[in-house]
């Protein structure tokens, strides 16, 4: 069978990225230009700065990707691009650049949902087995998705308020840790003890999550202790927060696997880099004979390689967009 090469573009937040992926599973070249240092100065992503930086970087990233792969656009079968969800100004830059390439070289344009990309990052490790449960945990999402087969997504639950990464970043801020706080809270949590009395977030029979309550509880602890002139043990507070959050995520994920009678779990999104989540899931999956797939760390956060992997399956299913495709800040995964 002839090989299929997808040129993929991702610019939904603060990473400008392009990649070339062969047959949905083999990374030929990936370039990621992160803006994290710039946004860290402001304690979070500034959308206006993000889109301007994407404009400055996008052509450089495209050229670098082709050069790294030793290929030209003529070798490419289709152009896949994240059309949403994300920051609208950021999405538009990648989308317009991808459309321009598709138009100029007469290549099919394949729209990819950002979360489909995160899930398919796992296909770059080993071929995904179906049916599966996908746990999507990122700065913008916390979702449990049932996939019967390739590119079929049934959302079985998700966060009712903050995404888990968002809660990590907010808790980090109140602890005076730099942006993005998730990795730092994770690091601190591994040095502390679970001593703070924090609530278990939405410990019910649904597959939904809610992290605003525990986030407020952490903020209250910090403020109350400060008022009493007491020192906070940041390590212990990070441990207590992480144990509560990851505990409930793992509990609901394992229940979903059982109730949906599936033996395959894939984890996706920036928070899948979390060490405690990886430890707990590994333990539980061994115990319950579940085939666990975790993306390598470079594929956990935003990158175009994952968009190229998802884009391959979308392309094979004939999901081709017209050149009037628009970016969507919010859009359902389907």
- Which residues of this protein are in contact with ligand KG4, per CB under 6 A? 13, 138-140, 165, 168-169, 180-183, 186, 269-271, 273-274, 301-302
Question: How many CB atoms within 10 Å of residue 291?
Answer: 14
Give 3-state DSSP helix, strand, coil % of the chain, rounded to 5. 45, 20, 35
Closest CA to 110 of 7, 3, 2: 7
C-alpha–C-alpha distance, residues 227 and 221, integer Å? 10
Enter the tokens of residue 102.
């598709």
**CA dist 19 to 5, 166, 307, Å?**
10, 27, 8
Distance CA 166, CA 160 (A): 13
Q: Which does 78 bind (CB under 5 to 8 A by kind): Zn ion, ligand KG4, none?
A: none
Phi, psi of 35 (to 5 degrees): -110, 15
274 binds, among Zn ion, ligand KG4, none (CB under 5 to 8 A by kind): ligand KG4
In whole angstroms, how close is the CB of 306 to ligand KG4 at the nearest point? 10
**Minimum CB distance to ligand KG4 smaller for 184 or for 290:** 184
Q: Tell me how many residues contact Zn ion (CB under 5 A).
A: 2
The single residue among 10, 143, 169, 302 that binds Zn ion, judged by CB under 5 A, is: 302
Q: Choose, by CB under 5 A, the member of 138, 253, 272, 293 that binds Zn ion.
A: 138
Nearer residue to Zn ion within complex by CB, 143 or 302: 302
Among 36-44, 256-264, 295-303, 322-330, the segment contacting Zn ion (CB under 5 A): 295-303
Opening angle at CA 295, ends 10 and 177, nearest 5? 75
Nearest Cα to Cα of residue 149 among 316, 308, 1: 316
* Cα–Cα nearest to 282, from 239, 259, 250: 250
Of 13 and 321, which CB lies nearer to ligand KG4 in the complex structure? Answer: 13
Q: At what angle do helices 182-189 and 164-174 cross, to 10 degrees?
A: 70
**Please, what is the minimum distance in Å from the beta carbon of residue 99 to ligand KG4?**
22
The least CB distance from residue 159 to ligand KG4, in Å, is 12
Residue 5 or 299 having the CB closest to ligand KG4: 299
Indicate whether 11 belongs to the interface with Zn ion (CB under 5 A): no
Residue (141 or 252) nearer to Zn ion, CB: 141
Closest separation between CB of residue 269 and ligand KG4, Å?
4
For the bound state, the minimum distance from the C-beta of residue 268 to ligand KG4, rounded and expressed in Å, comes to: 8
Report, in Å, the least distance between residue 181 CB and ligand KG4: 6
Shortest Å distance, C-beta 242 to ligand KG4: 8
Which residue stretches of the chain are H helix?
A: 36-40, 47-69, 88-105, 114-120, 164-174, 182-189, 212-227, 234-259, 275-287, 297-300, 304-316
Least Cβ distance, residue 271 to ligand KG4 (angstroms)? 4
Of the pair 298, 325, the CB lying nearest ligand KG4 is at 298
The one of ligand KG4, Zn ion, none whose footprint includes residue 30, by CB under 5 to 8 A per kind, is none
Binder of residue 198, out of Zn ion, ligand KG4, none (CB less than 5 to 8 A by kind): none
Q: Which structure tokens are listed for 172?
A: 């980090």
Q: Which is nearer to ligand KG4, 157 or 269 (CB)?
A: 269
- Tell me how far CA of residue 96 lies from CA of 99, 112, 312, in angstroms: 5, 14, 20
Pick the closer one to Zn ion by CB: 100 or 331. 331
Binding site for Zn ion (CB under 5 A): 138, 302
């Amino acid at each position: 069978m002839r090989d299929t090469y997808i040129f993929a573009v991702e610019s939904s937040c603060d990473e400008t990225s392009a990649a070339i992926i062969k047959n949905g599973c083999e990374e030929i070249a990936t370039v990621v230009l992160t803006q994290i240092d710039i946004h860290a100065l402001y304690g979070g992503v500034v959308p206006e700065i993000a889109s301007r930086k994407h404009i400055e970087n996008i052509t450089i990233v495209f050229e670098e990707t082709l050069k790294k792969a030793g290929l030209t656009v003529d070798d490419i079968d289709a152009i896949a691009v994240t059309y949403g969800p994300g920051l609208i100004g950021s999405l538009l830059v990648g989308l317009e650049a991808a459309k321009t390439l598709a138009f100029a070289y007469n290549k099919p344009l394949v729209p990819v949902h950002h979360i489909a990309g995160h899930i398919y990052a796992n296909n770059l490790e080993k071929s995904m087995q179906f049916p599966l449960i996908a746990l999507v945990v990122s700065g913008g999402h916390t979702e449990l998705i049932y996939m019967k087969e390739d590119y079929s997504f049934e959302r079985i639950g998700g966060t009712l308020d903050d995404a888990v990464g968002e809660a990590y970043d907010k808790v980090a801020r109140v602890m005076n840790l730099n942006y993005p706080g998730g990795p730092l809270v994770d690091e601190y949590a591994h040095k502390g003890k679970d001593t703070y009395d924090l609530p278990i977030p939405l410990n019910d029979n649904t597959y939904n999550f809610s992290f605003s309550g525990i986030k407020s509880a952490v903020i209250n602890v910090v403020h109350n202790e400060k008022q009493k002139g007491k020192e906070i043990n940041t390590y212990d507070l990070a441990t207590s927060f992480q144990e509560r959050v990851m505990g409930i995520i793992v509990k609901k994920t394992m229940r979903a696997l059982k109730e949906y009678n599936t033996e395959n779990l894939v984890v996706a999104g920036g928070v899948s880099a979390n060490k405690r989540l990886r430890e707990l899931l590994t333990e539980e999956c061994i115990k319950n004979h579940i085939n666990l797939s975790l993306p390598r760390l470079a594929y956990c956060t935003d990158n175009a390689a994952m968009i190229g992997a998802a884009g391959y399956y979308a392309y094979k299913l004939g999901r081709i967009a017209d050149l009037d495709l628009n970016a969507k800040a919010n859009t359902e995964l389907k």
